[in-house]
């Protein structure tokens, strides 16, 4: 039946069948080649971090992909279509234009016994960004993140001069069985590294100047409902089928939660809370 075989005669049936067969083969091959070429391009353009975050975001449960405007009650339910990067989000821009966020009344929020200073921005991966007078920003773990990890067993910080991008890996922390990557809150170049003892982890020179660099970060009145939601998420993450851990109403989180609940699957809990499913 193949054209190069002895006794082959072309007819309509052959044309249709062989045409369909070769079309299928070419489509499959073209799909593989396209995927391979796109992959190569992504690797050459150093988009691995971006892709890793998009893959992680896609794997998050729907309830964890909620838009920031759901936290403040502006939407009843809405899934973030931009993987928590509000810099490109038209809906966010419109809402901010319509009614900008009210300024915080106090310099610091005390939420469930945790301090959230309002002079900085917060990333949903539990880091904060504090703009410094020299144009750099300091990046640290927020209070909930710090209490989750307690005193880290290990830390992989990027060297000075390294480039980090928003929602890419800023640094990695190991604590017991957990090994989590902490998402970078902004794009920029690392100028100095710190550590848990210094209260901050990275000093970054942002790639973008001004307010635009922080548009995707939470601030002011958004912080309280977000932390409330995160506390609920933590409660859920600690409530595995075999877990006996519960969070009593009215109490506050202890400084080193992992040390207090060694029976929990901390790898899973940290993955859940630091958005690395």
Closest contact distance (angstroms) between CB of 176 and another protein is 10
Closer CB to another protein, residue 2 or residue 248?
A: 2
231 phi and psi angles, rounded to 5 deg: -65, -40
Closer CB to another protein, residue 24 or residue 252?
A: 24
18 phi and psi angles, rounded to 5 deg: -70, -35
CA distance 123 to 217: 5
135 phi and psi angles, rounded to 5 deg: 90, -10
Neighbouring C-beta atoms of residue 40, cutoff 10 Å: 10
Question: Residue 26, exposed/middle/buried by CB under 10 A (0-12, 13-18, 19+)?
Answer: exposed
Closer CB to another protein, residue 186 or residue 273?
A: 273
Closest contact distance (angstroms) between CB of 191 and another protein is 26
Alpha carbon of 1 to those of 5, 8, 9, 12: distances in Å? 7, 6, 8, 12
Closest contact distance (angstroms) between CB of 239 and another protein is 5
Closer CB to another protein, residue 119 or residue 244?
A: 244
Site residues (CB under 8 A) for another protein?
1-2, 5, 13-14, 17, 20-21, 24-25, 27-28, 31-32, 34-36, 38-39, 42-43, 47-48, 51-52, 54-55, 59, 61-63, 177, 236-237, 239-242, 263-268, 271-272, 276-277
Closer CB to another protein, residue 207 or residue 245?
A: 245
Closest contact distance (angstroms) between CB of 45 and another protein is 10
Closest contact distance (angstroms) between CB of 263 and another protein is 6
Furthest-apart CA pair in the chain: how many Å? 90
CA distance 191 to 182: 18
243, 266 Cβ separation under 8 angstroms? no
**Of 72, 234, 52, 41, residue with least CA distance to 148:** 234
| Element at 121 (helix H, strand E) | strand 121-123
Closer CB to another protein, residue 63 or residue 198?
A: 63
């Amino acid at each position: 039946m193949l054209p190069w075989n002895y006794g082959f005669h072309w007819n309509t049936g052959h044309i249709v069948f062989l045409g369909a067969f070769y079309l299928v083969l070419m489509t499959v091959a073209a799909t593989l080649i396209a995927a391979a070429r796109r992959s190569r391009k992504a690797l050459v353009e150093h988009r691995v971090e971006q892709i890793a975050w998009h893959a992680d975001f896609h794997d998050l449960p729907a309830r964890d992909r909620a838009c920031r405007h759901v936290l403040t009650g502006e939407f009843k339910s809405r899934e973030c279509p931009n993987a928590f990067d509000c810099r490109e989000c038209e809906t966010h821009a419109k809402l901010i234009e319509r009614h900008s966020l009210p300024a915080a009344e106090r310099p610091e929020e005390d939420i469930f016994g945790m301090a959230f200073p309002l002079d900085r921005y917060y990333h949903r991966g539990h880091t904060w960004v504090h703009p410094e007078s020299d144009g750099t920003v300091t990046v640290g773990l927020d209070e909930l993140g710090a209490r989750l990890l307690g005193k880290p067993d290990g830390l992989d910080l990027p060297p000075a001069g390294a480039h980090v991008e928003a929602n890419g890996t800023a640094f990695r922390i190991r604590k017991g069985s957990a090994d989590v990557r902490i998402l970078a809150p902004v794009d920029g170049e690392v100028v100095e590294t710190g550590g848990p003892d210094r209260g901050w982890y990275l000093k970054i020179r942002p790639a973008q100047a001004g307010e635009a660099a922080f548009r995707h970060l939470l601030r002011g009145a958004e912080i309280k409902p977000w932390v409330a939601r995160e506390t609920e998420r933590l409660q859920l993450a600690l409530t595995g089928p075999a877990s006996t851990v519960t969070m009593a109403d009215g109490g506050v989180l202890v400084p080193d939660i992992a040390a207090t609940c060694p029976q929990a699957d901390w790898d899973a809990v940290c993955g859940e809370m630091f958005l690395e499913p």
